[in-house]
Amino acid sequence: MSILYSSLALKQKTLETRLVVSPMCQYTAVDGYANHWHLVHLGQFAAGKASTILQEATAILPEGRISYGDLGLWQDDQIPALKDIVDFVHQQGSLIGIQLAHAGRKASHDKPWLSRHQLAPSDTNGWQTVAPSALSFQESDMVPEALDGAGIQKIVKAFQEAAKRAVEAGYDIIEIHAAHGYLIHQFLSPLSNQRTDAYGGSFENRIRLLLEIIEAVNTVIQQQSLWLRISATDWAAGGWDIEESVLLAQRVQALGVEVIDVSTGGNVLHQEIPIAANYQVPFAARIKEESELITGAVGLIKTASQAEAILQKKQADLIFIGRGFLENPHLAMQFAKDLGLDFPWSKQYERAK
Ligand code: FNR
């Protein structure tokens, strides 16, 4: 029996399959507002019967955007265009989650198809970045401003307010982005966090910002399931690692996080990643084994049988796929076919079956 095509009941929501569309930035918003691109981009996955779709990293503050083309949810008038997307996805019978994010020192970038550079605050599309410490990601980047206590509290509140707006827009899932070297990950890792106050130094201090954000978001969510994406390792000596990730998983579980989505890397330039099929799966497996959280594996999972095998071996409960869904937005239909399963298509497409 296929696990990939079996349902999974969360506290308030049921995922119809174990396949999740991984969040993917589109760099196509204007001033944070969603537009037709986002509706069509996310809508196509729902038309292709992906049962759970995560929307790209959506900034909780303008200065938290990776690029000036990122989606945002820092003000109420950004809700309606997002609600249109949510409504469309729901009409197709799928669930949709929003990934709330702040890019910290990795913010203020150009759109990747224009250049790979960070834009200076003097550029029309650039701004001053912030971070736990005044350490840039790479030499060519600006030096971020180290956040003071008030700056940290502003970020916690902005996550809370964005989550409240996400509830209003009708999202089923709120995922906090604590991976890939963005702001929360910058706090988690000793390689980017050299603070000497309550938010730096010990493990307890480095996870403090994330725990405060989770607690703040918890006060505003209703039927939403709370998910967390982490980088389980920095792939660098002296950095955040799997041992700390396991401890973190146990802590966030107690705070009501239901799903942990396990990625890796992105925080330091000198990371050494042994990229290969399933290379991040062992990290998900370890966290699944040592916590009660529902665990998602992601990264270079390309075929249906590969995804199914990870679930059968109990290395993860969910399979997140990114690039595969860009190549084929109807991947859920294809994978079912590959596994020889009879999987219902959208009624508009059924005649082609
Ligand atoms: C990504 N990824 C990503 N991750 C995330 O947590 N938030 C995001 O907004 C993005 N944006 C993004 C854009 C694009 C174009 C790509 C290709 C990737 C990472 C993505 O969710 C996933 O973790 C990786 O792509 C690895 O999975 P695949 O692509 O090997 O299935």
Decide if pLDDT at 280 tops 90.
yes
DSSP assignment of 229-272 equals EEES--SSTTS--HHHHHHHHHHHHHTT--EEEEE---S-TT--
Q: Measured at the alpha carbon of residue 133, what is the angle toward residues 126 and 254, in degrees to the nearest 5? A: 105
Boundaries of every domain in the chain: 8-352
- Residue with the smallest CA separation from ligand 1 atom 10 is 24
Q: What gap in Å lies between CA 149 and CA 117, rounded to an integer?
A: 29
Best residue for ligand 1 mutational test, from 24, 109, 184, 325 (most atoms within 8 Å of Cβ): 24
Query: DSSP of 285-297, one letter per residue?
Result: HHHHHHSSSEEEE
Tell me how far the alpha carbon of residue 97 lies from the centroid of ligand 1, in angstroms: 15
Supply the pLDDT for residue 291: 97
- Of 349, 301, 341, the closest CA to residue 325 belongs to 301
Alpha carbons 325 and 44: distance in angstroms, whole number: 10
Pocket of ligand 1 contains residue 321 by CB under 6 Å: yes
pLDDT in tens, 97-155: 999 999 999 999 999 999 999 999 999 999 999 999 999 999 999 999 999 999 999 99
**Cα distance between residue 6 and residue 18, in whole Å:** 7
- For ligand 1, what atom is nearest to the CA of residue 66? 9
**Segment 23-37 mean pLDDT:** 98
How far is it, in rounded angstroms, from Cα 314 to Cα 204?
30
What is the C-alpha to C-alpha distance for residues 77 and 30, in angstroms, rounded to an integer? 13
Q: What is the distance in A from the centroid of ligand 1 to the CA of 225?
A: 21
Q: How far, in Å, CA of 15 to CA of 324, rounded?
A: 20
Distance CA 269, CA 248 (A): 24
Output the CA 298–ligand 1 centroid distance in Å: 9
Amino acid, res. 12: Q
d(CA 55, CA 41): 10
Q: Which CATH architecture has domain 8-352?
A: Alpha-Beta Barrel (3.20)
Give the residue, by CA position, lying nearest to ligand 1 atom 18.
24
Find out whether the beta carbon of 268 lies less than 6 Å from any atom of ligand 1.
no
10 alpha carbon to ligand 1 midpoint, in Å? 24
Query: What token pair was written down for 1?
Result: 């029996």
Q: How many residues does the chain have?
A: 353
Q: Which of 243, 217, 219, 274 is nearest to 98 (CA)?
A: 217
pLDDT of residue 278: 97
pLDDT tens for residues 165-214? Answer: 999 999 999 999 999 999 999 999 999 999 999 999 999 999 999 999 99
Residue 234 phi, psi (nearest 5) = -85, -10
**What is the average pLDDT across 312-326?**
98
Q: Is the dihedral of CA 173, 127, 118, 274 positive or negative?
A: negative
Determine the distance separating the centroid of ligand 1 and the alpha carbon of 149, expressed in angstroms.
31
Q: Position of tokens 């062992």?
A: 282
Q: Is the dihedral of CA 86, 99, 288, 273 positive or negative?
A: positive
Rounded Cα–Cα distance for residues 25 and 283 (Å) = 24
User: Ligand 1, closest atom to CA 263?
Assistant: 23
Q: Which of 5, 27, 68, 182 is catalytic?
A: 182
Q: Is the CB of 322 under 6 A from ligand 1?
A: yes
Name 176's bridge partners.
100, 228
pTM for this prediction: 0.98
Residue nearest to atom 25 of ligand 1 (CA): 322
182 is catalytic: yes
Residue 36 pLDDT exceeds 90 = yes
Question: For residues 41 and 47, is the Cβ–Cβ distance under 8 A?
Answer: no
β 71-72/95-101 pair status: unpaired
Query: Ligand 1: does its nearest atom lie under 6 Å from the Cβ of 25?
Result: yes
| Cα 288 to middle of ligand 1, angstroms | 21
For residues 216 and 199, give the distance between their C-alpha atoms in angstroms, rounded to a whole number: 16
CB of 49 within 6 A of ligand 1: the answer is no
How many angstroms separate the alpha carbon of residue 350 from the centre of ligand 1?
Answer: 30
pLDDT of residue 16: 98
**298 CB near ligand 1 (under 6 Å):** yes
DSSP for 282-327 reads: HHHHHHHHHSSSEEEEESS--SHHHHHHHHHTTS-SEEEESHHHHH
Nearest CA to ligand 1 atom 13: 24
67 and 110 Cβ atoms separated by less than 8 Å? yes
| Residue nearest ligand 1's atom 14 by CA | 24
Helix (H, G, I), strand (E, B) or coil at 116: coil
179 lines ligand 1 (CB under 6 A): yes
Count the alpha carbons within 13 Å of 132 in the hemisphere toward its beta carbon: 28
Q: How confident is the model at residue 353 (pLDDT cuts 50, 70, 90)?
A: confident
Q: How far apart are CA 15 and CA 2, in angstroms?
A: 15
**Structure token pair of residue 117:** 């550079």
